Structure 1
Amino acid sequence: MTMNRARRLLLGMGLLGATGPLLAAPPRRLDRELAAIAADPACELASLSVLAIRAGQVSYAYQCGRRFIGHDGLPDKNVGPDTLFRIASISKMMTTLGLMRLLEDGKVSLDADVSGYLGFTLRNPHFPGQSITLRHLLTHTSSLRDDAGYSWGADVALKDVIDARMFAANAGPGAYFTYCNLGWGVIGTVMERVTGERFDRLMRRLLIEPLGLQAGYLPSELPPKALANLATLYRKRTVDTEVWDATGPWIAQVDDYSVKPPAVLDRYVIGTNATPFSPTGGLRISARDMGIVMRMLMGQGMQLLKPATLSLMFSRQWTYDGRNGDTSDGLFHCWGLGNEQFPDETGTRLVESGGFPAVGHLGDAYGLMSVFAFDPKRRNGMIVLVGGTSTDPFAPVNKGKYSSLARFQERILTALYRGAIVPKLVPNNSA
C-alpha cells in the first residue's frame, strides 16, 4: 500500500485545551518517523492515528493511511483527525467510567452480589457459596471465562446462556486473574438493570454527551457525520480461515458500510443482555476525542467524576505474584478497576527509554490494535489507534523487544514519547 499524504493536527482550542510551546524536535521529523513505521513491510499498517499529551495539554497529533480502501469503483478515504475507530478493549475502561458515575449516584456497590442487580443468580457452580461482585468483574477475578462465548444476539437473555462451562473449576471469585470479556457483558447488563436505560444510550448520557464526544457503541446510532468518518478495520488475512498473506489485498474485517448501512437494533429488552452493544470492545471514537477523555482523567477540562472516585478506579487492585493469575504471556501484571497498569519496570514498560509509568488500557480486535496510556502524576499520555496489519502482529518476527506488545507498537510509543513528550521546549518565536 502507498501511504497517503500524512496530516498532522496541532490542536489548540476547545475541550482539548491549548497546546504548549513548540517542541524542540520538529514535529515533521516525528511525522516521517511514524509514516516509516506504518509503511514497514515487516508489518504494514492499514491506518494510524495517534495523539500525545504533555503536562496535561495536547502536544502532537498525526494520522496516515486509509480509513476506507476503495474497491468496486469506490474511492479510497484517508484517515483524518475526526476518524472514528472501533477501539476494542479500551471500551472496557470507558464503560467503567460510566459505571463509576452510577457508583457515585448510589445505584451500585462494588462489593454487593451482582445477582441482586441482574434479577437472576450468578454463581460459579464449583463455588456456590461465594458471591460475584462488580469488583471481581472489573478486576477479571470473577472466575467467569470466555471459553463458551461472550456475545449473543438481542433475542438471547444472559440468564439463559450462562452455565457451568463459563466458570473456572479451579478458582473461585477473587482468587485468580483471567482476562474475561464476558464480565463486561454482565457489567453492561447490570448498568441497564439499575437505570432502566439501554446500554449504548446510557453511555451517551453518562459519558459521550457531557464531554461533547462524537462516539457511540452502536454504529447505527452514530450521528451521520460521525458514521461517515468511521474507519473500516482491515487485515491481510481472511476473515474465517485466518490465513495471512502479506502480499495480498487488505480484507475488511468490521465496520465496512460501503454497501449497506449498519444494522438497527430495535427489538431488545433492556436489562436482559447488553452484549450486542459490546461494552467489552464496541466503542467507536476518534483519537482526538479519546484525548478529551484522557485530559479529563488528568483533571483537565470538564470533570465527570470526583477526584476520590478516580483515585479509587485507578488504585491497584491486583498484582501478579507468580501464582495468582494468567498473565497472557506477560501482557498482564497489574490491574485497577477496569484498567490495566504499566509499572516502569522490565516487562511492563511502554517505552524503550523508560520513564513512563502509566495506567490505561490496550485493545486488540478485528485488526485494530490500540493503546490508551497516561502518567497521572506527570499528566503525560499517549493514544495509538492502528486500523489493521499486513502480517500477524503476534508472530515471532513481530514480537516486541522489551515488552509483550508487538514491535511496531513499541516503536510507535517510543517515537511518540521521545518526539512529543520528552524533548525540551523552546519558545514559539524561536522555532
Structure 2
Amino acid sequence: MAQQANFDSAVSTELKRLNIPGLAVAKLESGKVAWTGYYGYQNLEKQVPVTENTVFQIASVAKTVTAAAIMQLVGQGYFSLDDDINGFLPFPVRNAFFPEKPITIRHLLRHRSSIRDNPDYLLPFWEGDYKGPDIALGTFLQNYLAAGGPTYRKDKNFIHTAPGDSFEYSNMGYALLGYIVERTAKMPFDEYCQKKLFTPLEMHNTNWFPDRIDPDKLATAYTFSDSLKVYQQRHQSTFPDYPSGQLRTSIGDLAKFLACWTNNGKFNGKSIIDSLAVQTLTPRNLSLGFHTWFLYLLNTETPMYSHNGHSPGVSTYMLYDPFSKNGLIILMNGEVTSYADWRKLIGLLYRGR
C-alpha cells in the first residue's frame, strides 16, 4: 500500500509540474491489463474526476485503429499493400510532380505517399476555428487531392519527392486510408469500425464522433497559459479528416484494443484482427518496420512499438513490446510537448506501482 501511495503521489506531482488536468493510464503485462490508474480531473470547472468511464480524444493514436481497419480488408483479400490506391477511389490521386508513379496503400501506411498536410488550409479545422458547413470525408479528400479540386494546391498538398522515396508524416494520407475502407466496405468508415472493431472488442465507450458519446463522460481538453497561469478550456473538436485523429475512447476500451493487438489479433479467444495485420504493421523482427507504428526506446535494451498523439488540449501515448507483450497507454486532457517530459512520464508510469 505504501508503494502504491508513493507512486500515486509521484504521478500527481508530475501532473502538477506539467500543468495537466487529468490522466488515465493502463499497463499491460503478458498481453493482459495488469492495472489501470486515474488521476486529476476530466473537467476542472465542475471538479469531475477522471474515472474508468472518462472518454478522451486520443488524437493521432487513432491512426493505429485506422490501420487495423484497412489491414482487416487486406487480410480478406480486397487489395494488397502494393496496389495503386486509384483502383479503389472514385477520383484520381497522383503527385503531379511524379505523375507516372502510383501511390500505394503501403505508402500511406508508411507516411511515404508524398501527400503533404497543407497547414494553411488544415489548421483552422484542427484548431477548431473552422465555422463553415460539415464536409463529407470523400468530398473533403477529392477537393484536396484531385487536380482541379477547389482546395487542390500542387505545391502545398504534395512534396517534391516521388511516392515511396521519403518520409512525410501525413494526416491526409490516413484520412485517405479511412476513405478506402469506406469505399471498399460500402459503409461509412465510422460505421465499419463500430461493426468490425469496437463491438467485437466490447469497446462500448468509443466513437469517432463526440456528439455520439454521453457528454458527462467526455474529458474536457485544456491548454495552459504560462503568461496568465490559467487553464483554458477547449471545445470538443471535430474535423473532416477524422480517421487521422478524431477518435474518442476510454482507457479500458483502448486497453482492449491493445491487448487484442499484442495477442496477434485475438480477443476472448476469437480472432478480431487478422494476424496478418499485426505481423505486417508490427512484426517481431523490428528491423522490418515500420507501418503506422514507430519505434520507442524505453531504455537501451528494450525497443517497443509506439504511437503518440497531440492536438489542442490533448496528449496521448501507446506503446508495447511484441516479445513480452507488455504495454502502456497514457491518455491526458492537457498538453505535453517536450520529448524529455514524455520520457520522464513514460518511465514513471511503465515502472508502475
TM-score grouping bracket, smaller chain normalisation: 0.7 to 0.9
* Pairs within 5 Å for 1:20-419: 26-40=3-17, 43-70=18-45, 75-147=46-118, 149-150=121-122, 153-154=134-135, 156-162=139-145, 163=152, 164=154, 165-169=156-160, 171-213=161-203, 214-222=205-213, 224=214, 227-237=215-225, 244-245=226-227, 247-248=229-230, 250-255=231-236, 276=240, 278-299=242-263, 301-302=267-268, 303-315=271-283, 335-342=289-296, 349-350=297-298, 353-389=299-335, 393-394=336-337, 399=338, 405-407=339-341, 409-419=342-352
Q: Which amino acid aligns with 1:245?
A: S
User: How far, CA to CA, are the matches of 1:288 and 1:365 in structure 2?
Assistant: 21
CA distance in 2, matches of 1:278, 1:309: 21
SS class of match (1:128):
coil
- Amino acid across the alignment from 1:384: I
Contact 2:222–2:333 at 8 Å: present in 1 too?
yes
Q: Provide the identity percentage.
A: 26
Change (3 A) 1:104 1:27: same
What SS is found at the alignment partner of 2:352?
helix
Secondary structure, counterpart of 2:59 in structure 1: coil
DSSP 3-state at the match of 2:80: coil
User: SS where residue 251 of structure 1 aligns?
Assistant: strand
2:219 maps to amino acid: A
8 Å Cα contact 2:68-2:277 kept in structure 1: no
The 1-side partners of 2:352 and 2:188 are apart by 42
Aligned length: 328
SS of 1:289's partner is helix
Tell whether the 8 Å contact from 1:218 to 1:277 is kept in structure 2 after alignment. Answer: no
Distance 1:166 1:316, change over 3 A: farther
CA distance, structure 2, for counterparts of residue 196 and residue 308 of structure 1: 22
Helix, strand or coil: the match of 2:351?
helix
TM superposition shift of 1:283: 0.7
Q: Which deviates the most, 300-309 or 130-139?
A: 300-309
CA distance change for structure 1 residues 57 and 122 in 2, over 3 Å: closer, same or farther?
A: same
Unaligned runs of 5+ in 2: 146-151
* Kept in 1: contact 2:295–2:306 (CA 8 A): yes
Name the SS of the counterpart of 2:309 in structure 1.
Answer: strand
CA change 1:364–1:289 in 2 (3 A) is: same
Contact 1:217 1:277 in 2 (8 A): no
Deviations 1:364-385 (A, max 9, x none): 1112111100001001111111
Quickly say closer, same or farther: Cα 1:206–1:103, change in 2 above 3 A: same
SS state at 1:142 partner = coil
User: Whole-Å Cα distance in 2 between the matches of residues 247 and 47 of structure 1?
Assistant: 17
Change in Cα spacing, 1:369 to 1:317, as seen in structure 2 (3 Å) is farther
More helix by share: 2
Encode CA deviations 1:152-183: one digit per residue, 9 max, x unaligned: 942544222323131112x1000000111110
Structure 2 CA distance, aligned partners of 1:318 and 1:376?
A: 9
CA distance in 2, matches of 1:279, 1:229: 21
Query: Could you state the TM-score of these two structures normalised by the residue count of structure 2?
Result: 0.86
What's the counterpart of residue 148 of structure 2?
none
Q: 2:221·2:334 contact (CA, 8 Å) conserved in 1?
A: yes
Q: In structure 2, do the counterparts of structure 1 residues 367 and 317 end up closer, same or farther at CA, with 3 Å as the change threshold? A: farther
2:311 and 2:71 map into 1 onto residues whose CA distance is 25
The CA RMSD measured in Å over matched residues stands at: 2.5
SS in 2 for 1:146: coil
1:294-332 superposed Cα distances (whole Å, 9 cap, x missing partner): 11112163331233331112139998xxxxxxxxxxxxx
Amino acid at match of 1:176: S
User: Contact conserved, 2:101 with 2:163, CA < 8 A, in 1?
Assistant: yes
Alpha-carbon separation, structure 2, partners of 1:124 and 1:86: 32
Question: How big is the shift at 1:335?
Answer: 4.9
In structure 2, what is the Cα distance between the partners aligned to 1:316 and 1:60? 25
